[in-house]
A and B are shown apart, each in its own frame.
Chain A
Amino acid sequence: METNLLDWILFLPLASAVICGLLFRQSGSVAGVISIGSAIVNSILALSLLTHLQAGDTIAWSREICRFGETSLTVGYSVDQYSALMLFVVTFVGAWIHLFSWGYMRDDSARGRYFAGLSLFMFSILGIVLANGLVMTFIFWELVGFCSYMLIAHYFDKDFAAAASKKAFIVNRIGDLGFILGIAACLSLYGTTDFDTLKVAVAAKPAPALVGFLLLGGFIGKSAQFPLHVWLTDAMAGPTPVSALIHAATMVAAGVFLMARIFFLLHPDVLQLCLWSGAAMAALAGLCALAQTDIKKSLAYSTLAHLGIMGAALGLGHPELALLHMAMHACFKATLFLGAGSIIHGCHHEQDMLQMGGLARKMPVTFATFLVASLSNCAVPFLAGWYSKDAILEAAHEHGVLVFALLSIAALATCLYSGRMIRLVFMGEARSEASTHAHESPWTMLLPLIVLGLGYSVFAGNYIGIPKASVSVLPAPMHFHFGAASIVGLGSLIFGFFGALWFYGRSKSDALRDASPALYGALERRWMDNLYDGYVTRVQQPLVDALAFIDLALINGIGGKILGAGIPAGLGALSRRLFHTGSARVNAAWFAIGALLITALLLGIL
């Protein structure tokens, strides 16, 4: 297999980003055509790669990019069928989101910058998928962080977008600190950071838990795992297609992809941490989604819950299931976000679900696709979400009752917030001017919804899920086995989804808030965000101000006193008088004379 194809896949989006960013910032339509075109071509290339790659094949290529002393750093490709699948999912979902952006961003004056950013993001995320080792992964890891920053800050003139972009980048960097140390630890222990050689080396000498914990830092930051999850909900300040592509389907899933790739490095203790934090977050974030009125924020909590489920799957020792869930989640969550985008577009940029209502009749296509994707999200049997979630629940059931209970809560919460969303947005009466005058979106926005929603969310599991990824790891009957997982799944579907439809129909505002303000408040409150904000304003800022004062008063003061008094004493009374005149001109002259003297002295020595 040629690496040529991989070069094209990787560098086509970069070329598109450079061309759009440098030449067509002012002409958004041209930039859009270039960017969308490159994304579509890319997904075709990725499809051809996927179909040509035989099972068990890997394409491997690497070269040294630079060398510091004895440290040789290499970059290159390593593609097997999993990464080829991931490549296809990313480019396919990406291409449709690009197309959706055409309609969604039509009136935006900064479309050129937006499409350049999207293309740059595609370049970065594909770099992660293709990477042959930790060094190249880290390079592109940082780049996706930058793209995310740039696209969250798209509406930079809004203060909340400015704050959210900054927060996302910084929180990711906190995780990346662990990632860097993990890379250094691998290099120290095994002398390499390339996946293939590392795998061989680890087989001979298992990695200590510390390496895994450090590398886990990168995952926690990028995949918004507890306690670094705080940036993801704020990141919804970006344009909705960006939320769909970066903050739901691909970038946040990159952490899962990395963990699956370096699964052989992870010590059981690391997996335990991953399991419990993932399961707990899945349950909690799912419930928090019930206390958001902003449709995008509610979906963001849903994403957090699913990332928790993926983390739990990793912790359970099933990286393949985590990847499978990631692929399935990518399609239905992208559909949900694009659906939300279509709704927001239709309702004249209204995002509050309590201001919507009755949209099913006004936006039938959006409704149909949103409903299907929601059902997929709720894991209705034989829809995409079911294949992965059911298997993960089953694996949790085998592991122990507490994990199973947590994931069951997550499953129930998923059905509850999905039902709530459908009820509040699409059913009942319009609750505001904006939703009364809502209109269906143009075809460039509906087509991606139909393809991703109806096509992909419904059938993806059938043709990608089982044959490609999971059959090798799971006993086939598990999927059709009527076990505890199926009972929980179906039970929560019936009671959760339909229960929510009924419950939220009772009130004009949020029924839970009416019924139990305390519970709603507890779920709505952003505990960790408040903690961090408190730290920054009450601890960090006074601390750095104090340090700056110490520097000025103590270090500068002592230095100034000792030197200011010491040198003139050493150089005699003449210079002392010169110094104390305080005349800059005299100082300059003194300095010039001194330097010339030294120079002359030295030349004399020579």
Chain B
Amino acid sequence: MSPLLHSAYLLDAAVFSPLVIGALLLLFGRRLSLGSLAGAANLAAIAALMQLVTLIINGRSGGESPFGAFLLEPMGAALFGMTVVVGVAAVHRAIRQLPGVEKPHAYLGLILILWSGTLGAFASPLSNSEGAIKAYVYHEFALIPTFILTVFWGGEGRRMASMQMAIYLTLGAMAGLAGLLIALNSATASSSATGLILLGFGTLVSLFPFHSWAAPGYSAAPSPVSMLHAGALKKFGLLMIIQFAIGHLGAWSNLLLWLALGNTVFISLVCLAQRDLKQLVSWSSVAHMGPIFLGLWVADVTGKADGVHAAIFLMVAHGLSAAALFSLSNDVRTRTGTYRIEELGGLANRTPVLAAFFVAASMASIGLPGFANFWGEFGIFLSLRDQSLWIQAAAASTIIVSAIYMLRAVAAVFYGPLNPEIEKSSASLHDLTWSDRLIPLFLLGASLALGFNPSLLTRLFTP
């Protein structure tokens, strides 16, 4: 193997090259052509992709990186790998959008910075206190471009949504940080610190009932930002909870169960009421956090790692499928000018490839075997096996409700006769081009790889 793949600088390069190139584009990219912008963005992804390949080949990461002191620990490595895939897809989504975007250099630059911050958050080792604080800082650092991108380049309702997002996320992150600092500075785990960590970082992951920011936030954000935020960045909160709260939840355990069921059951039902494709994908992204939290809960209750491992699997899988759904919904929007489900209908007649990808992404999202999400959900259900039956049933009810809302949307958007309004209004109802296809191919390909060979990921956890 090439010595380059073993180089300790690779991880540094993976995290920092999007940052450096993003910053350069932001500051000096005004005059660059769209082609050069895209080229620069692709350049930024090289090191990250190489790091992903090393991770896949070696099954674990190398040592600590010399410059940023990054270290891929098992959980972080899983999410880092997913963030590389989602980031590449999101950057390409952004590149596809550039012709219609104001200040394209700033748009692309900020997205690269957002990606870099997310990579940094997952590449920082949580097992030592310095690394945990650093991960926190990278996460906050990634939230800044998220917010700015939503405010300036977002869609309908972006001001309200970004304000609400800022309030919730700032508060949540502060509470989490307070808990983290207490936990790091005391020898024994205190209950209040655990509670702050759980609810504070839980807010970052849209834990019920602190989820109100999430669906409007993802919906209002530009699609590449939704992909990176809902797919990758928010999972940072879960990592912090796993690292610092699970195992000593104590009195908080029951609360977590009920809140997790809130995501699993309540939010899933709320998904059924959605009438806007992007809102639906956003809400489902909140609902899918429910089983993940249940996995964490059961790991705390039983003291076994089953639930956590399955939850991490689902975190990775959900990142891929949610990013694919956001990207494909955006494809629908660019062709029809709308996200409203009732204004769509019968698109498969004209865009069969888009429809096929959307069906595949929906199937991934609702846990069809063959895609990664299946192993995550199934593993979590099995990890709940010694709990009471009603908890198991409530957890597994998600396979029914998610099938209802996703397939209903698929049928309403893609099946049936072509909606005559669309036929009239959009002359350019063309199918996905080859370069359009690369984005879902990359995301769903990664999901399929994990679906067929789940040990690619689970081997990270077994020494």
Note all chain A residues with C-beta closer than 8 A to B274: 548
Does B148 contact A588, Cβ atoms closer than 8 Å? Answer: yes
Please measure, in the bound complex, the distance between the C-alpha atom of A157 and the C-alpha atom of B345, giving whole angstroms. 10
Flag if B384 contacts A184 (CB, 8 Å).
yes
- B151 interface residue per 8 A CB criterion: yes
Q: Is A30 part of the binding interface, using a Cβ–Cβ cutoff of 8 Å?
A: no
CB pair B411–A165 under 8 Å, yes or no, is yes
Interface string of B179-211 (1 = CB under 8 A from A): 000000000000000000000000000000111
CB < 8 Å neighbour of A551 from B168, B270, B307, B407 = B270
A139 to B359 Cα, complex, angstroms: 18
Most chain A CB within a 10 A radius of its CB, from B136, B212, B397: B212
Q: Please state if B393 and A181 are interface contacts (CB–CB under 8 Å).
A: yes
Of B46-54, B98-106, B159-167, which stretch is located at the interface? B159-167
Q: How long is the Cα–Cα vector from A472 to B21 in the complex, in angstroms?
A: 75
Nearest B residue (CB) for A110: B352
Residues on A with beta carbons closer than 8 Å to the beta carbon of B305: 68-70
- Please tell me if A518 contacts chain B, counting CB pairs below 8 Å: no
Q: How far is the CB of B209 from chain A (nearest CB, A)?
A: 5
Chain A residues lying within 8 Å of B399, measured Cβ to Cβ, are 173, 176-177, 180
Q: Does B147 contact A (CB under 8 A)?
A: yes
Partner of B151, one of A66, A69, A183, A587: A587
Question: Which residues on the B side are within 8 Å of A432 (C-beta)?
Answer: none
Closest to A187 in B: B385
A563 and B175 alpha carbons, distance in the complex (Å)? 13
Q: A386 in the interface, Cβ–Cβ < 8 Å? A: no
Check A156–B348 contact: CB distance below 8 A.
Answer: yes
Task: Tell which of B71-79, B226-234, B245-253, B308-316 binds the partner.
Answer: B308-316
Q: Are B130 and A599 in contact (CB under 8 A)?
A: no
B144 touches A592 (CB 8 A): yes
> Are B163's CB and A68's CB within 8 A?
no
B410 proximity list for chain A (CB < 8 A): 166
Asked whether A41 is an interface residue with its Cβ less than 8 Å from the other chain, the reply is no
Query: B165: nearest residue on chain A (CB-CB)?
Result: A591
Residues of B within 8 A of A203 (CB): none
B42-85 interface code vs A (CB 8 A; 1 in, 0 out): 00000000000000000000000000000000000000000000
A464 contacts chain B at the CB level, 8 A cutoff: no
Chain B min CB distance to A435 (Å): 28
- B141, B152, B384: which contacts A584 (Cβ < 8 A)? B152
| Interchain nearest-CB distance for A10 vs B (Å) | 13
Across-interface contacts of A543 in B (CB, < 8 A): 269
- Roughly how many angstroms separate A169 CA and B368 CA in the complex, as a whole number? 11
The answer to whether the Cβ of B420 comes within 8 Å of any Cβ in the partner chain is no
Q: Which residues on the B side are within 8 Å of A579 (C-beta)?
A: 163
> Are A71 and B392 within 8 A (Cβ)?
no
CB-contacts of B119-160 with A (<8 A)? 130, 133, 136-137, 140-141, 143-144, 147-148, 151-152, 158-159
- CB-contacts of A564-606 with B (<8 A): 564, 567, 579, 582, 584-585, 587-588, 590-592, 594-595, 598-599, 602-603, 605-606
Interface residues on A, range: 35 or more
> CA–CA, A588 to B462, complex, Å?
43
Given contacts A69-B309, A595-B140, contact A563 B168 (CB under 8 A): yes
- The DSSP consensus for interface residues of chain A is helix
Q: In the assembly, what is the distance between CA of A187 and CA of B453, in Å?
A: 22
Decide: A157 near B349, CB < 8 A? Known: A69-B307, A588-B151.
yes
A142 CB–B CB distance under 8 Å: yes
Report Cα–Cα, A176/B167, bound state, in Å: 41
- The yes or no answer to B39 lying at the interface (CB within 8 A) is no
Contacts of A563 in B (CB 8 A): 167-168, 171
Q: A69-B309, A188-B386, A544-B269 are in contact. Are A584 and B159 (CB under 8 A)?
A: yes
- Distance in angstroms from B361 CB to nearest chain A CB is 13
Q: Does A146 contact B (CB under 8 A)?
A: yes
Q: In this assembly, does A170 line the interface, its C-beta being within 8 Å of a C-beta of chain B?
A: yes
Asked if B89 lies at the interface with its beta carbon under 8 angstroms from chain A, I say no
> In the bound complex, do residue A181 and residue B159 qualify as a contact, i.e. CB atoms below 8 Å apart?
no
In the bound complex, CA of A70 to CA of B267 (Å):
30
B379 surroundings in chain A (CB, below 8 A): 66, 68, 71, 73
- Cβ contact within 8 Å between B209 and A559: yes
Known: A548-B273, A588-B151. A158 touches B416 (CB 8 A): yes
Q: List which A302-347 residues lie within 8 A (CB) of chain B.
A: none
Stretch of B11-19, B317-325, B369-377 on the interface side: B369-377
User: Given the known A-B contacts A68-B310, A71-B383, are A181 and B396 also in contact in the complex, defined by CB atoms under 8 Å?
Assistant: yes
Chain B residues whose C-beta falls within 8 Å of the C-beta of A599 in the assembled complex: 137, 140-141
Q: Are A555 and B148 in contact, CB atoms less than 8 angstroms apart?
A: no
Q: Could you give, for residues 74-106 of chain A, a 1 whenever the CB lies within 8 Å of some chain B CB and a 0 otherwise? A: 000000000000000000000000000000000
Judge if A556 is at the interface, Cβ distance under 8 Å. yes
Residues in B256-297 with C-beta less than 8 Å from chain A: 266-267, 269-270, 272-274
Q: Does B458 count as interface, using CB distance less than 8 angstroms? A: yes
Q: A162-B415, A173-B399, A598-B140 are in contact. Are A606 and B458 (CB under 8 A)?
A: no
Contacts of A183 in B (CB 8 A): 382
Q: Do the beta carbons of B400 and A177 come within 8 Å of each other?
A: yes
Chain B residue nearest to A185 (CB atoms) is B385
Alpha-carbon distance A592/B379, docked complex (angstroms): 40
> 1/0 per residue A538-564: CB within 8 Å of B?
001101110110010001100110011
Task: Give the residue name and chain of the B residue nearest to A188 (CB).
Answer: B385
Beta-carbon contact of A157 and B348 below 8 Å? yes
Chain A residues near B266 (CB-CB < 8 A): 547, 551
Q: Does B346 contact A (CB under 8 A)?
A: yes
Which residue of B has the minimal Cβ distance to A135? B378
Between A555, A584, A603, the greatest number of chain B beta carbons within 10 A of the residue's beta carbon is seen for: A584
Interface residue? A490 (CB, 8 A): no
Please name the residue on chain A nearest to B392 by beta carbon.
Answer: A181
Does A283 sit within 8 A of B, measured CB to CB? no
Hey, which chain A residues are within 8 Å of B309, CB to CB?
Answer: 67-69
Q: How far is the CB of B153 from chain A (nearest CB, A)?
A: 11
- Among A65, A73, A142, A567, the one with the most B-chain Cβ atoms within 10 Å of its Cβ is A142
Contact A555 B408 (CB under 8 A): no
Q: In the complex, what distance in Å separates the CA atom of A556 from the CA atom of B210?
A: 8
B417 at the interface (CB under 8 A from A): yes
Q: Is the CB of A70 within 8 A of B270?
A: no
Instruction: Determine if A184 and B385 form an interchain contact, defined as CB atoms under 8 angstroms apart.
Output: yes
A153, CB-defined interface residue at 8 Å: yes
B438 at the interface (CB under 8 A from A): no
B60 to chain A, nearest CB (A): 16
B449 at the A interface (CB under 8 A): no
Q: Which of chain B's residues has its CB closest to A570's CB?
A: B171
In whole angstroms, what is the CA distance A547 to B266 when docked? 8
Q: Contacts A153-B415, A163-B411, A177-B400; is A146 near B363 (CB within 8 Å)?
A: yes
Interface presence of A511 (CB below 8 A):
no
Alpha-carbon gap, A538 to B306, bound state (A): 40
State the Cβ distance, A581 to closest chain B Cβ, in Å.
11
Closest Cβ of chain B: how far from A207's Cβ, in Å?
14
User: B389 within 8 Å of A by Cβ?
Assistant: yes
User: In chain B, what residue has the closest Cβ to A590?
Assistant: B166
Cβ of A180 and Cβ of B396 under 8 Å apart?
Answer: yes
- Would A591 and B144 count as touching, CB distance under 8 A? yes
If the complex has contacts A184-B384, A187-B382, A603-B137, are A159 and B143 also in contact, measured as CB distance less than 8 A? no
- For A143, list chain B residues within 8 Å (CB): 368-370
Instruction: Jot down 18 A-B pairs with beta carbons below 8 A, ordered by A.
Output: A67-B455, A68-B309, A68-B382, A71-B382, A139-B374, A150-B359, A157-B346, A157-B415, A161-B415, A165-B407, A169-B403, A540-B272, A555-B211, A555-B212, A559-B209, A588-B162, A603-B137, A606-B133
Other than the known A66-B379, A156-B416, A548-B273, what 5 A-B pairs have Cβ atoms closer than 8 Å? A70-B305, A170-B404, A540-B272, A588-B151, A602-B133
- B interface list, Cβ under 8 A from A: 130, 133, 136-137, 140-141, 143-144, 147-148, 151-152, 158-159, 162-164, 166-168, 170-171, 174, 177, 209-212, 266-267, 269-270, 272-274, 299, 304-310, 313, 346, 348-349, 359, 363, 368-370, 374-375, 378-379, 381-386, 389, 392-393, 396-397, 399-400, 403-404, 407-408, 410-411, 414-418, 454-455, 457-458, 461-462
